[in-house]
Amino acid sequence: MTAAAREGGPPLVVVGAGVMGTGITTLALAHGVPVTLVDVDRAVLDRAEVAIARNLRTAALLGAAPPDTPPGALTSVTSLADALSGTEVVAVVEAVVEDPATKADVLAQVSAAVPAGTPLISNTSSIPVDELANAVSRPEDLLGTHFMNPAYLITTVEVVPGARTAADVVAAARKFLGELRRTPIVVRDSPGFVTSRLLHPMINDAARLVQEGVASADDVDALMRGCLGHPTGPLRTADLIGIDNLVDALDVLHRRTGDERSRPCDLLLAKVRDGHHGRKSGRGFYEYEEALP
């Protein structure tokens, strides 16, 4: 079954209407998949709906959405129970904050509410999947993914089976990602997987150079773009990730690997304290005209 053929059929449920939740929702809708988006805060959902509409226009303009596929229908609700009760779903994607306890709580609720065999997908950038699997009633149904931001434009996705993930769940996730025109790359479960294990300490080092007065954020990014081919620069990437999310992920990496390069530097911690979370707040290493959900 193609993704477009799912229109009007069982929805994908996305839990968490922040930056990643809205991006994953946009991706699915753009490929004709209906989505139920869940967040406990109605105001967050309202902002997300505006962002998703804008993202869908951007995806269409950039050729990131199939031109012959009408967008899927979006439903937004504040109750996870309402989203899952008595409803068949394609899969559930958990996209809440990068905090192990919060993710475990959401996944436990989802696992208790959906039938066995429903893929439970945690979109995590750093937390080992088998650790999260301890919270669910059926560890074989749990799989990790790491979508990059913006998920509706970046076409490669890390796929992370845990030690107890069933092979058919991995196969189903890979098939669904293929229907969304994504390239899934399966990696072994570990803290940070591949992309975060490489990228996040590098961003931390870049922020530390700014903290020490070696160079400005703009100059660090210009050197990384011009000399080393980084497409945006590490500090503008930090703004796109969300500096609060970055610090959470670095903290997970530091605690689980002992790598001192992953201990969040003082400048990152100060930006989080000051509410300068990057693109979504309107200010991070750079200033933006408009904050995004």
Q: Are 235 and 206 in contact (CB under 8 A)?
A: yes
Active site residues: 146
C-alpha 228/C-alpha 233 separation (Å) is: 9
C-alpha 71/C-alpha 61 separation (Å) is: 14
Angle at 68 between CA 64 and CA 73, to 5 degrees: 80
3-state secondary structure of 107: helix
H-type helices in 192-242, by residue range? 195-211, 217-228, 234-241
For the chain, the C-alpha Rg in angstroms (whole number) is 19
Instruction: Provide the phi-psi class of 16: left if phi over 0, else alpha when psi is between -120 and 50, else beta.
Output: left
| φ, ψ of residue 231 in degrees (nearest 5) | -65, -35
Strands 156-161, 142-146: pairing kind:
antiparallel
Residue type, 40: V
